[in-house]
Amino acid sequence: MGSLTDKVAIVTGGSGGIGSAICKRLAQEGAKVVVHYGGHADSANEIVKKIKTNGGEAVSIQANLSNSDEVMKLFEEAQQQFGGLDILINNAGTGVVGPATEMDEAAFDKVFGLNAKGTFLCMKEAANRLNNNGRIVNISSGLVVRPMPGFSLYCGSKAAIELMGKVLSMELGDRGISVNTVSPGPTKTEMYANSGDDTKAAAERSPFNRLGEPEDIADVVAFVVSEKCQWITGHTFQAGGGYV
């Protein structure tokens, strides 16, 4: 039996690179996984299919995370499907790259609407629904500690969720619920590939001289939601191969 047998997990942005790796990793540990997606139904359904093929349980659910009503429906449907909720992984995110002087209100609303507001709404909903001794993990970025030009909105939104998570960890500790952050460095995903970063230079920032794989991040998340991590909360795990 896996370390997460009979646990129920929601993974937002579960159809993407890091998200899909997290979904599959948690399922390997026995969790029943809700693969959330915003607009990539085919990708989400493919992840569900792979999990079921390997003997796991999973469903895909669509929701606009910047809308509180849709977030509520996501959690309600997850509970209806599996009868409870133990783990929330806030992985969904987006970015707009460019100088701050070129960022307009629409760019701000896009990035903060999903990364910050969406994460907050999910944490709020989870706080009211998680079983005792549950787990919340927010996926941030090493750019919060090691920022680069062109990422002002992305860095700001990720910094916001790290601090919101720290506060929530104080508010939920009496129920045994931990709230932590996993902060990847440069990782081989479509989003990173579109960022325009120099992949060779990024790899050289790590002592391992390579970019991260989505599975590297998923392994850290699996540890953070396990019982082995029950005494750690309000913490940011740097999962960047020494990037920070």
- SS3 category, 15: coil
110 in catalytic set: no
Second-level CATH architecture of 8-239: 3-Layer(aba) Sandwich (3.40)
Structure confidence at residue 172 (pLDDT)? 98
Structure confidence at residue 77 (pLDDT)? 98
Spot the catalytic one: 20, 60, 66, 140: 140
Structure confidence at residue 196 (pLDDT)? 66
Mean pLDDT of 83-111: 97
132 is written with which tokens? Answer: 């005792």
- Distance from C-alpha of 68 to C-alpha of 184, rounded to nearest angstrom: 27
243 in catalytic set: no
- Distance from C-alpha of 135 to C-alpha of 176, rounded to nearest angstrom: 9
- Burial 130-155, CB ≥16 within 10 A → b, else e: beeebbbbbbbbbbbbebeebbbbbb
The full set of domain ranges for the chain reads 8-239
Instruction: Measure Cα distances from 112 to 74, 108, 152, 236 in Å.
Output: 20, 6, 11, 20
Structure confidence at residue 1 (pLDDT)? 62
Instruction: Check if the beta carbon of residue 151 is closer than 8 Å to that of residue 109.
Output: no
Q: What is the pLDDT of residues 118-156, one digit of tens each?
A: 999 999 999 999 999 999 999 999 999 999 999 999 999
Structure confidence at residue 18 (pLDDT)? 96
Instruction: Measure Cα distances from 138 to 12, 30, 57, 235 in Å.
Output: 10, 21, 23, 10
140 in catalytic set: yes
Spot the catalytic one: 32, 37, 152, 154: 154
Spot the catalytic one: 20, 141, 157, 169: 141
157 in catalytic set: no
Q: What is the pLDDT of residues 173-193, one digit of tens each?
A: 999 999 999 999 988 877 777
Spot the catalytic one: 158, 169, 183, 195: 158
